[in-house]
Amino acid sequence: MYHCGLLLVLLNLFLDVVGSVSQLEINRHLELGREFLAKGQLQDALSHYHAAVEAVIDIRILTRIILIEGDPNNYLTYYKRGTVYLALGKAKFALLDLDRVLELKPDFTSARLQRGNVLLKQAQFEKAEADFRDVFAATFVFHLLQLAVEPQNSDAYNALYKISPAQDDLLVADRLVRNGDYAAAAQQLSKVIEVCPWSAELRELRAECYEALEDYISAISDVRSTTKLQSDNTQGFLKLATLHYRLGQVEESLKEIRECLKLDPDHSKCFSFYKKVKKVAKLLTDANEYENERDYTNCIDSALPVLKLEPQVAKVRFIAHQHLCKCYTGNSEPSQAIKNCHEALNIRKEASVYCDRAEAYLAAEMFDDAIRDFKEALEIDMSLQRAKQGLHKAQQRQKLSESRDYYKILGVPRTASKRDIIKAYRKAAQKWHPDNFQEGEEKKRAEKRFIDIAAAKEVLTDDEKRAKFDQGEDPLDPESGKHQQGFNPFQEFHHFHGSPFQFKFHFN
């Protein structure tokens, strides 16, 4: 009855076959398959064995297979192709071929042993045990008739020996999962998976344990295996996307959720998650590009919506806070920068983020806090040059803050352009010009202020001197030995009248 049903199915599939394939062509595919198999070229061997099987299913040869109780060449071809499938890790297709072999030749012991091994690796314990016992019984009778010394098949015996302990271990693992002892359960399941590496169900269960332990990397490894062991595993790709997202790996999450939609474009859960991840990925990509381009306003505008779209997943929020930490600093908003750096560090303590917050503290002239954060970064990574250089800069800036700060003197931020600096200088010089004050203490104070203003202009409009000052060194400090000799604060003014402070001047 089974053969008749199979015949009808195959006839329906191959009615459009034009002509017949000669036995010569079948033999050629078989020979090439053997040659490639001997060379270890498994994919090529598989293609030829597959072609041979397809060739056998010509209408005339198919009729011959049905009428004759199994064609030896036919069952061997299925067996060889099944062997290649196994070598390529395609257990599902190998099992189908082995089932077909044993339908055609039930006493083919090698095929039954092979099928038992596949079933054991898939954790189908009862079916595997049945195959191994059949092999053991068949070989026992054979060897008994031959008066052999060892009337048992050692492969079947060894496989049978693994089944009971694996079943016991699985029962223990199930109990541990029910009790919430996920670490012990994962360890127990690992023992079973050593025996049954092709069981998608066992890997799914262990992935659940890893997920409960927040070991998402290990969970991803197991779930990825299930997508290879099971075709059309949309649930597996959805789980992969979710796990990557929890790790803050948004682009990887997007890639996996797209695989789910390739298998099933109408999958509602995958599509819903895809829409969210796609938006988050776009915003984070834009924020990163704007940050690299130093377009800090657009960087902030891209990163802020991520916090609204994702109120819960900490590692995705970490990325948004990290961008905001840097971009608010670049946008001269140190208080907002410090706030976001702090939020990022609450999620994950990274040396680079400590450096980011230290830079924000420097922008806010909170030197003690900046020094502390650079030291925290070095505690995490002693070789981090950014932290070493930043610590030196913060210490120098702290020292400078006790003397002259040229930015403060002109009342400009540290990010001010040269044009803004010259504009501020002109305004300050006009205000504090000594000729504007009467003789006495006020005039002396104005003279000192005027000298500082001229010094600030000299340093901050010279790229080299400004760079030195930003690194914590005063290029006009006589004690440094690196100041410019002959600095004259009045060199900006070209028309003197009487005393040094009685003159009219032109600004450069």
Coil, helix or strand at residue 496: strand
d(CA 461, CA 55): 84
d(CA 329, CA 380): 23
Res. 449 pLDDT band, cuts 50 70 90: confident
Residue 235 has pLDDT above 90, yes or no: yes
- Would you state the pLDDT for residue 381? 95
333 vs 12: which has the higher pLDDT: 333
Burial of 325 (0-12, 13-18, 19+ CB in 10 A): buried
- Would you state the pLDDT for residue 364? 87
Residue 140 has pLDDT above 60, yes or no: no
- Would you state the pLDDT for residue 151? 38
Residue 319 has pLDDT above 50, yes or no: yes
Q: Name the superfamily (CATH) of residues 413-508.
A: DnaJ domain (1.10.287.110)
- Nearest to residue 284, comparing CAs of 316, 312, 315? 316
Share of the chain above pLDDT 70, in %: 78
300 vs 110: which has the higher pLDDT: 300
Residue 486 has pLDDT above 70, yes or no: no
What average pLDDT does the segment 479-493 reach?
49
d(CA 289, CA 303): 11
- H helix intervals, 264-405: 268-292, 296-309, 314-330, 334-347, 351-363, 367-380, 385-401
- Nearest to residue 67, comparing CAs of 142, 3, 151? 3
Residue 13 has pLDDT above 70, yes or no: no
The whole-model pTM stands at 0.66
Structure tokens that stand for 314 in this block: 């900490």
7 vs 27: which has the higher pLDDT: 27
Share of the chain above pLDDT 90, in %: 51
Sign of torsion, CA 68 69 72 77? Answer: positive
Residue 41 has pLDDT above 60, yes or no: yes
- Would you state the pLDDT for residue 153? 65
Residue 328 neighbours by CB under 8 Å, 6+ apart = 296, 300, 334, 336, 337, 340, 360
Instruction: Confirm if 95 and 107 have CB atoms less than 8 A apart.
Output: no
d(CA 270, CA 241): 9
Where, residue-wise, is CATH 1.10.287.110 in the chain? 413-508
Q: Give the mean pLDDT of the chain.
A: 82
Range with the poorest average pLDDT among 70-84, 201-215, 491-505: 491-505
Res. 92 pLDDT band, cuts 50 70 90: confident
Where, residue-wise, is CATH 1.25.40.10 in the chain? 2-156
CATH 2.70.170.10 fits domain 2-156 = no
- Would you state the pLDDT for residue 91? 86
d(CA 457, CA 445): 19
